[in-house]
Amino acid sequence: MRVCAAPPFTTPCAGSSDERWRPHDLLRLRRLAAFDGEPAWVRDAFERAPYAVVRRALASQDIVAIGVRGAQRSQRYGTWAASADIVEALAPEALAHDEPLAGRAVLPAFAALAALRRQASALNGFVWGPTGGAGFELATQTKAVSESSDLDLLIRTPERLSRESAADLLDQLDTLARQTGIRIDAQLETPAGGVALAEWAAGKSRVMARHASGPQLLADPWTAVQPTGV
């Protein structure tokens, strides 16, 4: 996040993350609490689309770390919401088969997403869905994707994905990216947090796993022991 509000709790209270809300879930909110230093664009953005994305950060009981998205690429704001203000939660996989607004399907990100739905071989057997601008637009029916937008994907991998399978999947996604003229950025959701598919497929000795407690360099994000209380 480019800007982040100070948490509405003391650091010792930030001991866990509410498992009802997972990173990249889109939350529809009945209200957005205001904090000191909030950027001027936030209220207009929330009025246009009362949604926020769950971000990776430890919080206290009944508080969720969220990110608000503005109309411009630079407009990203990390803040906090009360769980009582959450009306609905949409996981990325719930959006995988949604259709964009009329006339928007020709945009490269949506064209690539449609191709993934047709090409069962690429993600067959995986639970996956769009995040980023494509996911936001599909959830809110508010324009967020441009001609140059990437297609961001979340792929749930609770069980270990072999390096060979990761490399094959990355090759298929890269081929589709070349065909549609955009970048496809896929993230594996592992027990240790989010890991870039490209990093795991590259065979690096350690990969960056993004977790609520902070990023970690791990040899195997499926066998890593998480910090106590997380």
Compute the distance between CA of residue 13 and CA of residue 58 in angstroms, rounded to an integer: 9
Percent of the chain with pLDDT over 70: 92
Three-class HEC string of 26-55:
EEEECCCCCCCCCCCCHHHHHHHCCEEEEC
Condensed to tens digits (0 to 9), the pLDDT of residues 153-169 reads: 999 999 999 999 999 99
Does residue 230 fall inside a structural domain?
no
What pLDDT, on a 0 to 100 scale, did the predictor assign at position 228?
42
Residues 112 and 205 in one domain: yes
Residues 64 and 108 in one domain: no
Residues 47 and 101 in one domain: no
Name the more confident of 118 and 31: 31
Concatenate the DSSP letters of all residues of 189-221 into one string.
EETTEEEEHHHHHTT-SSEEEB-TT--EEES-T
Condensed to tens digits (0 to 9), the pLDDT of residues 87-142 reads: 999 999 999 999 999 999 999 999 999 999 988 678 989 999 999 999 999 999 99
Domain range for residue 29?
A: 8-90
Name the more confident of 11 and 168: 168
Q: Domain boundary residue among 90, 109, 141? A: 90
Task: Please say whether the dihedral angle defined by the alpha carbons of residues 173, 114, 148 and 76, taken in this order, is positive or negative.
Answer: negative
Condensed to tens digits (0 to 9), the pLDDT of residues 205-216 reads: 999 999 998 999
Residue 221 has pLDDT above 60, yes or no: yes
| Residues near 97 by beta carbon (within 8 Å), at least 6 away in sequence | 117
Residues 64 and 100 in one domain: no
Q: What does each C-alpha distance from 79 to 22, 56, 146 come to in angstroms?
A: 16, 11, 25
Average pLDDT, whole number, for the chain? 92
Residues 48 and 70 in one domain: yes
- The model's confidence at residue 55, banded by pLDDT at 50, 70 and 90, is very high
Residue linked to tokens 């950060």 = 57
Residues 158 and 191 in one domain: yes
Residues 48 and 108 in one domain: no
Angle at 163 between CA 183 and CA 149, to 5 degrees: 10
Rounded mean pLDDT of 174-196? 96
Does residue 135 fall inside a structural domain?
yes
Residues 86 and 105 in one domain: no
Q: What does each C-alpha distance from 57 to 75, 183, 210 come to in angstroms?
A: 19, 27, 10
Residue 190 has pLDDT above 50, yes or no: yes
Residues 69 and 158 in one domain: no
Q: How many domains does the structure of the chain reveal? A: 2
Q: Domain boundary residue among 90, 124, 149? A: 90
Q: Six-digit token pair at 186?
A: 């896929």
Residues 86 and 96 in one domain: no
Strand pairing class (193-196; 207-209): unpaired
Residues 71 and 113 in one domain: no
Does residue 104 fall inside a structural domain?
yes
Does residue 21 fall inside a structural domain?
yes
Residues 36 and 118 in one domain: no
What pLDDT, on a 0 to 100 scale, did the predictor assign at position 229?
43
- The model's confidence at residue 230, banded by pLDDT at 50, 70 and 90, is very low
Residues with active-site annotation: 150, 152
